[in-house]
Amino acid sequence: MKVVRVKNLSFNPMEVEVPIPSEVLNEIKVAADHSRKIVIPAISKI
């Protein structure tokens, strides 16, 4: 997802609940943790 600001358009602060199963959220968390702990430090060393 990409957020782009558009001039002269008001911001809609409404929150939207997205029905994502907890298993999928856990998979996303595992991938994010892996990236944060292993991938990003490895790239930073380059």
Residue 8 placed within a domain: no
pLDDT confidence of residue 20: 92
The number of beta carbons lying within 10 Å of the beta carbon of residue 35 is: 12
| Degrees, nearest 5: CA angle 36-29-1 | 85
Residue 1 has a pLDDT of 65
Residue-wise pLDDT tens for the chain (46 aa)? 677 778 888 878 889 888 999 999 999 999 999 998 888 888 888 8
Q: What DSSP letter does each residue of 1-46 carry, written as one string?
A: ------TT-------------HHHHHHHHHHHHHIIIIIHHHHHT-
Q: Note whether residue 34 is domain-resident.
A: yes
Question: Per the domain annotation, does 40 fall within a domain?
Answer: yes
List the domain range (segments joined by +) for residue 26. 20-46
The first and second tokens of residue 7, run together, are 């001039």
pLDDT for 30 equals: 94
The whole-model pTM stands at 0.51
> Is residue 1 one of the residues assigned to a domain?
no
| Residue 2 covered by a domain | no
- Structural domains counted in the chain: 1
Q: Is residue 7 part of a domain?
A: no
pLDDT at residue 33, rounded to an integer = 92
